[in-house]
Chain A
Amino acid sequence: MGIGGMVAKLKADVADTGEPLLEVKDLSIDFHLRTHILHAVRNVSFALERGRTLCLVGESGSGKSVTARALLGIVDRQGRIAGGRILLHGDEGEVDIAQMTERSSELLRIRGGRIGLVFQEPMSSLSPVHTIGSQIIEALRLHRRLDARAARAETVELLRQVEIRDPETMVDRYTFEFSGGMRQRAMIAMALACDPDILIADEPTTALDVTTQAEILDLIKRLQVSRGMAMLLITHDMGVVAEVADDVAVMRYGRIVETGSVDDVFHAAQHPYTSSLLSSTVRLEQPRADIRDRAEALGEPVLSVRSLTKVYGAVSGWFGKSGPALTAVDDASFDLHAGENLGIVGESGSGKTTLGRLILRTVEPTSGSITYRRKDGTSDDVLALSKAGLKDYHRQVRLVFQDPFASLNPRMTVKQIVGDPLVVAGTLRGAALEHRVGELLDLVGIDPRSMERYPHAFSGGQRQRIGIARALALDPSVLIADEATAALDVSIRAQILDLLLDIQKRLGLSFIFISHDISVVRYFCDHVAVMHRGRIVEMGTAEEIVNNPREPYTQSLISAVPNPDPRNKRMLHRTRFKS
């Protein structure tokens, strides 16, 4: 019996009881900030039922995580539950979590005992200085009367259930010896240690690769069904919602604007915000906005990369021992034509970021060649460039960064930030510089009058626009965008992608678009290179890669992408890649 069948059977079993496990009624949470009161959550109501999954969807700042933590009575220092009730039903009747104080022993029994929490940061949500085992054993011993030996045995069993290989050894390992996916599994094991009735998963897979995400969601879903738990899943990813949810609640500015069954929300959305959220979700099937004439893209390539290789750690150390060599990029070759977008997709550790840095020569390649052709027809061997030549090359080939918050100097005004490359190049100054910065800001859709402001006055999406304006300042011919939209909300992401396409059309740029998100690459790129363990395993047009992947790895990657359509789930029927 497949997962679908089990779900259907279980639903049939519990459908009639109708009694919710947990009800949230009119919950409001205020944050007392220095200057004003922020109403983070306003009159939110929903219910969790045994064996069913409610997805709370919303963009960053919508109050979904605050709501989830309030269910455990965990509210930040400035936060107060301003009103409403959180009713937890149990054998001894119902209790109101909203009324409990931080020190009440009843609340401590509920935390971890009846409600388990899994959340986003697999890197930082476990203590780095305690072993995985000791952290799970602690949870077990808190809620169940187990002696140390029994707790340890139980922990090993839990790790086995969450499919961690070799649990007897791993139980004594530290978190930094675990990969992101394994940490998330350990986190799930901890949340489930005391057999809770309710599992709250706050963006449990956001930081993970697609294939790992698919495995983790699979695991959570399976454990939920086998234990008959109620689940509250918080996510911003409509694809994940469609794959996992039974019911959906859409949150915006602290309010729930729409609730309904997953099918209703996806196919008969009532609220305009839900519709806009769905329409800005980039779908894998969705082809590029403008399918251009292919012939136009041909001709001499701007950038030719041949057999590019980077090996780390082959150098011998002080005491004559040589570390194991790691081939980060292995024999990568491709051509980038003028006006073309090349997507490089791969999971974390596949070498895609290193490849981008090799092309810029901020990391020196071990071997291979890169040829760059200027607009006037002359060409350069990038690896043989002198320092001055490299400086010129960096004017032509520029980088757009991932993190819009960390990549802008908070002490420089927007004018200084965008004008900086021009000042460094020494081409413009004074009024001409200001005029050019104004032009650039106009190009990326930022009001040029705001150029005297500092970055903190802008939202994430606006900052990314400023970063793009800075990259465009020197009239480059190639932009390398490394996960340029990964940190943005879906609706902002769609806007930035369209902006980049629009700029490309106007300026005739080429893009190398590095991303882990295949849907975005599909939307944005003409050609796609799939990287796995440093190698380009498959290359082709975006359509070919998505609709007709040849390599087993690409197939598994494509099929693991969640499909934002509950009637057509893809992830749960994915093909798995065995290496």
Chain B
Amino acid sequence: MMGRYIVKRLIYMVPTLIGMSIIAFLIIQLPPGDYLTSMIARMTESGENVDPAQVARLREIYGLDDPVLIQYWKWISGILLRGDFGHSFEWNRPVSDLIWERMGSTLAISLASLLFVWAVALPIGIYSAVRRHSFGDYAFTFLGFLGLAIPNFILALTLMYVTYRYLGQSVGGLYSPQYVEAPWSWGKFVDLLSHLWIPIIVIGTSGTAALIRILRANLTDELNKPYVVTAKAKGLPEYKVVLKYPVRIALNPFVSAIGWVLPELISGVTITAIVLNLPTAGPLLLRALVSQDMYLAGSFILLMGVLTLIGMLVSDLLLALLDPRIRFT
């Protein structure tokens, strides 16, 4: 039953992926010019001489004068057949190296933020729904809206200031300078933790606020359902009634959150990452787009799409595990 469902979902993903690769490629082709024109512009600006013959040679090497379809085919067949994402013009390195370098830290920060979001939103959401219109509910609601309303970069700057001024930590990045190139050790791990909490809080705040509101609204509806009275009439204590029945059903949006939180965490936190100088994918993508480093940018966009799809799949599978009504229909 479940196996067939997964296979079906995977098959459905194929056309979506093809469409996404086309769109990713078109997006990076959209701006006028290409990497070479922007390079020439930069070189002339700084007064360097540009040799037209060399430019023509470069164009030929990179195939920039080929029709769009052939360029697309070269790119996608390289990825599919050889795992070759192409060559970054700007960094003069294979794109895959650059991406894997950044993806590790990006995923780590994203997952940590997701866990933070869940850990904070779940208890607060339940409390707010069960003790609706109480002082605690209002206080959390206020904090939640504050979190939604404050732009991430302001929060990042504030936290950086606080840690620098009062905790005397090095600002920005994931490691203190002395650990950046050092091999893994206990000290490096502790150092990582002491840096990691700032991005996690900054990135997680708005997601937390949103999830608290969703959980509160859902749970409020569920609390009035007849099956809650049934559970009470059985003689279950109140906290067990709430946790076992309505919360279980109100959890659905939590799980579906993976689908949208994951890509948002990876791409949507670019500004935060720049402010905090994090070695994640966001700033790299921005650079690649600005300098029209097309293979790098295209690969990033494609990967982001794949991650979204995977996130959706994971959340759908978890939902099916959680809710038999989805499993059987």
Instruction: Please list the residues of chain A having a beta carbon within 8 angstroms of any beta carbon in chain B.
Output: 69, 72, 74, 102-103, 108-113, 115-117, 119-121, 124-130, 135, 138-139, 142-143, 174, 176-177, 187, 190-191
Contact = CB atoms under 8 A, between A and B. Distances in A.
A128 B325 contact: yes
Contacts of B225: 124
B322 A138 contact: no
Greatest chain B CB density within 10 A among A111, A115, A120 is at A111
Interface in B174-223: none
Nearest to B238: A102
B235 A129 contact: no
A125 B230 contact: yes
Contact of A111 (B227, B235, B325): B235
Given A117-B233, A138-B236, A174 B226 contact: no
Contacts of B238: 102-103
Nearest to A122: B226
A101 B231 CA distance: 17
Contact of B230 (A117, A129, A174): A117
Contacts of A120: 226
10 contacts: A103-B238, A108-B236, A116-B233, A120-B226, A121-B226, A125-B229, A126-B227, A127-B248, A128-B323, A143-B235
Interface residues of B, number: 21
A269 B22 CA distance: 80
Contacts of B227: 124-128
B296 to A, nearest CB: 38
Contacts of B229: 69, 74, 117, 119, 125
B243 to A, nearest CB: 12
B324 interface: yes
Contacts of A130: 245, 248
Given A139-B234, A139-B235, A129 B249 contact: yes
A138 B234 CA distance: 8
A190 B235 CA distance: 12
B226 A125 contact: yes
B237 interface: yes
A532 B245 CA distance: 37
A312 to B, nearest CB: 16
Contacts of A176: 324-325, 328
A129 B324 contact: yes
Contacts of A138: 234, 236
B328 A174 contact: yes
B224 to A, nearest CB: 9
Contact of B249 (A72, A109, A128, A177): A128
The 6 closest A-B pairs by CB, nearest first: A112-B235, A117-B233, A111-B235, A125-B226, A112-B234, A139-B234
Given A124-B225, A126-B227, A129-B248, A110 B235 contact: yes
B232 interface: yes
Contacts of A190: 230, 234
B216 to A, nearest CB: 15
Contact of A124 (B226, B237, B323, B324): B226
Interface string B100-116: 00000000000000000
B234 A111 contact: yes
A111 B230 CA distance: 10
A103 B237 contact: yes
A571 B236 CA distance: 36
A129 B323 contact: yes
Nearest to B239: A103
A176 B235 CA distance: 24
A74 B234 contact: no
Contacts of B235: 108-113, 139, 142-143
Given A127-B245, A128-B324, A135-B230, 17 more contacts: A103-B238, A109-B235, A112-B234, A112-B235, A116-B233, A119-B226, A124-B226, A125-B229, A125-B230, A126-B227, A127-B230, A142-B234, A142-B235, A142-B236, A143-B235, A174-B325, A176-B328
Contacts of B234: 111-112, 138-139, 142, 190
A373 B322 CA distance: 55
Interface string B297-329: 000000000000000000000000011110010
Nearest to A123: B226
A206 to B, nearest CB: 13
A69 B324 CA distance: 30
A126 B325 contact: no
Nearest to B133: A77
